[in-house]
Structure 1
Amino acid sequence: MNLKKTKSFPYIPNTHDDLDEMLKEIGAKSINELFDDIPNNLKLKKDLDIGESLSELEVLNYMKHLSNKNNNINNLTCFLGAGAYDHYIPSVIDHVISRSEFYTSYTPYQPEISQGTLQTIFEFQTLICNLTGMDAANASVYDGATAIAEAIIMASLDTRKQQIIISNTVNPEYISVVKTYAKALNLELIVVSEKDGVTDLEELDSKVGDEIAAVIVQSPNFFGIIENVSDIEKITHRGKKTKLIMSVDPISLGILKSPRELGADIVVGEGQSLGNSLSFGGPYLGFMATTKKLMRRLPGRIVGKTEDLDGNRAFVLTLQAREQHIRRERASSNICSNQALNALAATVYLTTLGKKGLKEVALQCAKKAQYAFNILTKSEKYKPTFTKPFFKEFAITSNVNEEKIKETLLDNNILGGFHLGKTYPQYKNSLLYCITEKRSKNEIDNLAEILEGIK
């Protein structure tokens, strides 16, 4: 395609004279010559159908028109969870992370110069350790699913075993990611069934042995139920060197026992609920924490605190021998970056709320979820799918078609719940509802009223 013969669109600032000068410099006669390696039958034989060029004002108006087709939680009352949660985000978070020194920062290749960035990572690691009770945490990974996948690598490297057990009550999307990692790493993934909404302990007990590298459990699990981690821990550690990997909702740790107290070896989770918006699915951040014994297996970056030559507090990247850019052939992972801005938001969130604030958020979630569960199941039109203790999510079952329920709710500006039948066919008539601290009594009562009115 000869650009000089085509209609001019000012999407690219280079002029035709600029193009001629660049082609002359590299010794090419035309732009087409740059693509000679592509077979002619694969090349587009016509101009791109991208319409007339627009002014900045026209582009802005067009993009706003497109974005208005999306519905979002500013217009809807959200009762949807299933891994991404509508928690309140204090305004101070956007104020801090929008500062230029944070918003525009990237991976510090000369890290000790970036003392501010290193300090924010150090504070994040400290808060995650305080929250989970573990000894060491990294600077974050891409999301909750990636965190579990990286954890199985840690466990396999440490135990030199190839078999991993994962409970079917773990978030299905996480299981899919773990399967992908396991296949590439020649690890055998064994999925343990769920029974009445929790991990089948008898099946788990029958499969744990000395050949197992790790057992993965999520609590609260995908159904919102609090797992019997104490019993799972006993079964897991019966295997020689077998590690317990525990995935958690960080908000729940405001009122539940820490993973360290429950005997976890590696703790992972999705940090989106810590001051990060839903953002239509991302970007999010995964957090990882572990024991001192396993900290050299952690992927990514770890920041330590020290003193400089003048005795002043200073921050450095530490234990770098595990990282890909230092010892590539023996690296614990190929992850050598982190979700710095999202982790900063989580740091500001946890610092702003403090212990009491986080506990209050967790209590409100739990109490409001219990109220919603009671009022939705009061008439017995909607029945509990499970009878186990839950944190902020619960499933209810009815004879009403789940798509009709969701459409009716959406017509009333309500988002939720999640159709369990998509992943678990045995629960085809069950919807999973999530109640966070943002939901008011009036909103919950309105949800109950609308559900009761559906025939």
Structure 2
Amino acid sequence: MRYLPLTQDDRQAMLAKVGAQSIDDLFVDVPEAARLNGAIPGLPMHASEMAVERHLSKLAARNLTAGQAPFFLGCGAYKHHVPASVDHIIQRGEFLTAYTPYQPEIAQGTLQMLFEFQTQVARLFGTEVANASMYDGSTACWEAIVMAGRVTKRSRAILSTGLHPHYVSVANTMAKFTGDTLVTGAPELTAEPDTDSLIEQIDDHTSCVVVQYPDILGRIGDLSKLAEAAHAKKALLIAVVTEPVALGAIKSPGEMGADIVVGEGQSLGVGLQFGGPYVGLFGCSQKLVRQMPGRLAGETVDAEGKRGYVLTLSTREQHIRREKATSNICTNSGLCALAFSIHMTLLGESGLRKLAALNHGRAVKAAEALTAIPGVELVNKSFFNEFTVKLPREARPVVRELAERGILAGVSLGRLYPAEDALGNGLVVAVTETAEAEDIQALADGLKEVLA
């Protein structure tokens, strides 16, 4: 039964206080046509537990899940093998804490894990510091943009055309409330990222330049030139990494001069999970640490000189002086961060490099197999485990036809950029260590048949 702590008299007193006659008065802004009047159409009033289970099982069986077919989807969410030991370790009692580890004496396991997580992310990104995670990559990206505005006292951000359109969408939504100006556009099917175009747009009003690495088409650019141009105008360079496994093979953004590096950590320790929850990664230079959103765990010693962990810096939105808070994000994706950290620990540096090499090698084989098909062209000059091919016809129906054959072929650019006709033939293909030789062959054979 429902728990209703308020009596009818309580509710009437509250309504009177706000000047409303009834509960319905609180919903006057909702159009009449949008209000639900009665039962939900198409649903029975009741059903047995067994009947509901059977019905939902039939609906779930209609899904073609990542493990049931040759799988080449990517664009920000990647299928990697997560060792069973990750799930086992995250359930250990040492990591149980009440929401937020404010009481260090009972949350040492969680605090130590966050400290290790920060170290791993900082080393991966090539930054001096990293926080204890954020919600996901897209919100971490926006937080980086608004942080750059605080640092530079400017409000014009230049977003690379190679930045994931979902990240751009989140930034545009948030910018409506902050007044920031975002300059962006759709990518072109060219072999190189839009570095020169970004440099031309930097001016004295620019707070930051945001570039994805590797970008939405899988292209890998040298960020050094871009960092130098941004710094010459006293702007910051923000790098977005949606595939952290790539950093086991390519130079980190921090090494090339990025001031802030953010990204999505789903690839390590976290399954696809139909879109979430995921974990946002955030690193920056030491001099910017006071402007960084989120919280930081630090290492210290107790009264007896023994090593211990505490929250060293935390944003103030939950505490005093909320108007000075660096973010309205007041938590972190703790469980996903734990899974990320455990997976990274199990891999180690050499393991991550081997995993990255395996990903790249299989992607190269897939690119060779697909471009051997008449009419299929490779767009990229360089790539890690994700690349874009240009098909001789529109990619969206091709993807649907392959899905009907039990092959999840990739992400069509027409799905990401429906208004851009020039991108309609583009197909982004992601190849991880989970793609076996027979999967790559099935993709190539299926594509050849569909295009014939």
TM-score for both structures, normalised by structure 2: 0.89
Q: Structure 2 unaligned runs (5+)?
A: 13-20
Q: 1:230 to 1:302 in 2, by over 3 A?
A: same
- Three-state SS of the structure 1 residue aligned to 2:233 is coil
Q: Conserved in 1, the CA contact under 8 Å of 2:412 and 2:428?
A: yes
Which residue matches 1:153? 146
Q: Conserved in 2, the CA contact under 8 Å of 1:251 and 1:361?
A: yes
Letter in 1 for 2:117: F
Range that drifts further, 427-436 or 318-327 = 318-327
- Superposed, 1:259-298 pairs within 5 Å as 259-298=253-292
Which residue matches 1:305? 299
Q: In structure 2, what is the Cα distance between the partners aligned to 1:267 and 1:273?
A: 16
Range that drifts further, 152-161 or 66-75 = 66-75
Choose which of 180, 183, 191 in structure 2 pairs with 1:190. Answer: 183
Range that drifts further, 364-373 or 102-111 = 102-111
Q: In structure 1, what is the Cα distance between the partners aligned to 2:412 and 2:256?
A: 31
Which residue matches 2:16? none
- Superposed, 1:203-352 pairs within 5 Å as 203-240=197-234, 242-248=235-241, 249-320=243-314, 325-352=319-346
In the TM superposition, residue 447 of structure 1 has moved relative to its aligned partner by 1.1
Q: In structure 2, what is the Cα distance between the partners aligned to 1:358 and 1:105?
A: 32
- Three-state SS of the structure 1 residue aligned to 2:299 is strand
Which residue matches 1:376? 370
Q: In structure 2, what is the Cα distance between the partners aligned to 1:359 and 1:45?
A: 58
Which residue matches 1:5? none
Provide the identity percentage: 40
In the TM superposition, residue 392 of structure 1 has moved relative to its aligned partner by 1.0
Q: In structure 1, what is the Cα distance between the partners aligned to 2:96 and 2:55?
A: 27
Q: In structure 2, what is the Cα distance between the partners aligned to 1:410 and 1:44?
A: 36
In the TM superposition, residue 104 of structure 1 has moved relative to its aligned partner by 7.3
Which residue matches 1:411? 404
Which residue matches 2:25? 37
In the TM superposition, residue 136 of structure 1 has moved relative to its aligned partner by 1.0
RMSD: 2.5
- Three-state SS of the structure 1 residue aligned to 2:149 is helix
Letter in 2 for 1:35: I
Q: Conserved in 2, the CA contact under 8 Å of 1:149 and 1:177?
A: yes
Letter in 2 for 1:395: T
Q: Conserved in 1, the CA contact under 8 Å of 2:134 and 2:331?
A: yes
Q: Conserved in 2, the CA contact under 8 Å of 1:223 and 1:432?
A: yes
Q: Conserved in 1, the CA contact under 8 Å of 2:315 and 2:327?
A: no
Q: In structure 1, what is the Cα distance between the partners aligned to 2:293 and 2:208?
A: 17
Choose which of 195, 201, 210 in structure 2 pairs with 1:201. Answer: 195
Q: In structure 1, what is the Cα distance between the partners aligned to 2:180 and 2:11?
A: 50
Larger-gyration structure (1/2): 1
Letter in 1 for 2:134: V
Q: 1:308 to 1:177 in 2, by over 3 A?
A: same
Letter in 1 for 2:281: F
Q: Structure 1 unaligned runs (5+)?
A: 1-11
Per-residue CA distance 1:278-311 (angstroms, 9 max, x = gap) = 1111111110001110111111111111011111
- Three-state SS of the structure 2 residue aligned to 1:389 is coil
Q: 1:352 to 1:51 in 2, by over 3 A?
A: same
In the TM superposition, residue 212 of structure 1 has moved relative to its aligned partner by 1.3
Per-residue CA distance 1:350-377 (angstroms, 9 max, x = gap) = 0011111111111111111111111111
Q: Conserved in 2, the CA contact under 8 Å of 1:81 and 1:434?
A: yes
Q: 1:76 to 1:120 in 2, by over 3 A?
A: same
TM-score for both structures, normalised by structure 1: 0.88
Choose which of 341, 355, 362 in structure 2 pairs with 1:361. Answer: 355
Q: In structure 2, what is the Cα distance between the partners aligned to 1:236 and 1:22?
A: 57
Per-residue CA distance 1:311-343 (angstroms, 9 max, x = gap) = 111111112365552431111111120000010
